[in-house]
Amino acid sequence: MKQRNEAPRRWLQWTVPLVLLVVSLFGATHAALPAKVQPLPPPTVLVFGDSLSTAYGLDAAQGWVALTAERIAQTRPGWRVVNASISGETSAGGAARVVREVARNRPTVVVIALGANDGLRGLPLRQTRSNLARMIGAAQGVGAKVLLVGMRMPPNYGAEYTREFEKTYPDLAALFDTALLPFLLEPIARDRDAFQADNLHLVAGVQPLLRDHVWRALEPLLK
């Protein structure tokens, strides 16, 4: 009788620990799963700019970024535009904020329209290039497409500085293989009436022109 019961006993000795192991593993795996799967964000255009992109001196809704957001809402339902522009922003400020902003917004497209304040302050071009490169790299690092929007300086800053400043944008666009809009103010730069009394910031009437100008370079990135 003793030998007849030996096989079931051995089977139980192996089965009980095995069941406990499976239960333990299942419990650990189940505990590791997130309580709730976070939804993906909507497709997002994230804009980094300065006062030219914040509609300085105007109602924010009159600016080219807000007008672009309206067009995107009409033509690309489900997309959104986040304007992370700050008046007075330099490329250094943008570079300091870019990682946080792309992590928070998880953008599909990043528009970088910075550098004008660097030029107006005569900051070293090497520094501006490095800051813009950091911003492009951070955007591409999260899988976003980049539109780099260039600026130009008045000739009184000196021919060499003016030339090298303008060259910064196509050089970076080629290096990082980004879309490029060479000069934000191209449609209105020679029109004195396009500017407010400070001769730096733009009036409301020309903001739709900027929107249309940027749109030609931005729209292909929304596909």
The active-site residue out of 87, 171, 201, 212 is 201
Q: What is the pLDDT of residues 145-199, one digit of tens each?
A: 999 999 999 888 899 999 999 999 999 999 999 999 999 999 999 999 999 999 9
SS3 content of the chain, % helix, strand, coil (to 5): 55, 10, 35
Q: What is the pLDDT of residues 127-151, one digit of tens each?
A: 999 999 999 999 999 999 999 999 9
Would residue 51 show up in a list of annotated catalytic residues for this protein? yes
Would residue 213 show up in a list of annotated catalytic residues for this protein? no
Report which of 132, 156, 144, 120 is spatially closest to residue 46, judged by C-alpha positions.
144
The active-site residue out of 51, 53, 85, 91 is 51
* Domains of the chain with bracketed CATH: 44-222 (3.40.50.1110)
Cα 119 to chain centroid distance, Å, stands at 22
What's the burial of 39, exposed, middle or buried (CB within 10 Å: 0-12/13-18/19+)?
A: exposed
91 pLDDT more than 80: yes
The 3-state DSSP class for residue 46 equals: strand
Would residue 50 show up in a list of annotated catalytic residues for this protein? no
Both tokens assigned to 125: 């071009």
What's the burial of 55, exposed, middle or buried (CB within 10 Å: 0-12/13-18/19+)?
A: buried
Q: Is 0.85 topped by the overall pTM?
A: no
205 pLDDT more than 80: yes
Q: What is the pLDDT of residues 17-58, one digit of tens each?
A: 443 443 343 344 344 445 555 567 899 999 999 999 999 999
As beta bridge partners, residue 151 has none
Taking the CB of residue 202, how many other CB atoms lie within 10 A of it?
Answer: 25
pLDDT of residue 40: 75
The active-site residue out of 59, 177, 193, 198 is 198
